[in-house]
Structure 1
Amino acid sequence: MSTIWEALTQAFLLVIRLDADLVEISLRSLQVTLSALLIASCIALPIGAILAVRRFPFRRVTIAILNALMGLPPVVVGLIVYVLLSRSGPFGVFGLLFTPTAMIVAQVIIIVPLISSLAHQALRELWAEYHDLLISLNTTKRQRMAALLWDGRRALLTAVLAGFGRAIGEVGAIMIVGGNIDHATRVLTTAIALETGKGDFALALALGFVLIAMAILVNLAIHALSRTEREGRW
């Protein structure tokens, strides 16, 4: 019991003192995750708008596939990206394996279906409300999608935050394609796994506190946005 309390005390001290390793790992996690989130949002939000506004063959199949990919095992994504970026793979010439770029690619693949599906659900309801108005104004499909994306920004921000929460806590795919290399690709989740295996519980707990704090902040933001959405306030 004393060992546990000692580790907890040391972990709190590491957080309070802004330990160099803790700060470096945390900042790298944010860099990778925010980069992946930006790229994924640029891909996923237009997909959600297209699925809400346009009618095309196999639309329902596409929606079903997106919903199914929300539960795609991250380790499978990591394996696929590893094969594609390995020296014998089609993109091996770029030398991206075991770099932050490979980690970003894996996270983008993981969270695009999630953000797309949530965005589609939100914009579908908005499209049902605005359909007659936008049609009567003789708007183009591009203008309709732009209007939905703007008016549905609160719900879409909730979808983006959900993607952030999924990405920041990812470990399987990141471990495979990043390699957990010190001062290069080590992030919060992979560092926690490593330090726990090494028996350095103080640093592992400190990293865990940071990760939990991020998750709580994201969930509080989602709750606040969802509440204002229901109350019709910005």
Structure 2
Amino acid sequence: MKAIVTGHSRGLGAALAAALLDRGAAVLGLARAGNPALAGRLDQVAVDLANPDAVAALAVPGGPLDRFLAGSGAGPVLLLNNAGMVEPIGPAGTLDPAVVARAVALNVTAPLLLADAVIAATEGQADRRVLHVSSGAGRSAYPGWSVYGATKAALDHHARAVAADARPGLRIASVAPGVVDTDMQAALRATPEDRFVLRARFVSLKADNALTSPEDCAARMIDHLLSDAFGRDPVADIRDLT
């Protein structure tokens, strides 16, 4: 079993990579920074996933994806598109154009480029699976979260359309992980209420210990990813599956 995990340096991505390693997978981590806690246990490539040219370079012949996927064998090949950013946060008409562009590049362009590259590179494999880490924000509209919600909705629709392609051996799903105790949650709590009117709700979730740990969430996500049920519904919420 081989798995590619984006944003493996911290948070849910680090937990996903660790969970896969514990299950015997060979893992390739893609992020701007490495993960010292996992050093020696996986392959790591430093890459700015918000740079489309850098993402495309990963898939050139002889490049990192080519080398990692060579001789994949009979086991499943997994792509976990986890990397993302919640910024910019704020009402429409107040957002930094450069941050909007970076969010779209990281949250949408990179997952779509990587999905296409991995699907192409694994043609003929009997079991290849693509997991987009989505969000409930892509399915319900929240004030101040227009860009983040739109990018996650894009992943949901990408999964639906790719599933409709019915490529042999391919399963894909865009799965919302629930509310996980990560740096993203901390960023929401630190945002002024005039930028994010739902701030108090997220402060309360932390105060009430209502956040899921990255490790618990990762275990459930991997259980689903490796199950026979994965991909039956291309858009799912992990809280409805476990």
Specify if TM > 0.5.
Answer: no
TM-score, with normalisation over the residues of structure 1?
A: 0.30
Higher helix share: 1
TM-score, with normalisation over the residues of structure 2?
A: 0.30
Higher strand share: 2
Larger Rg: 1
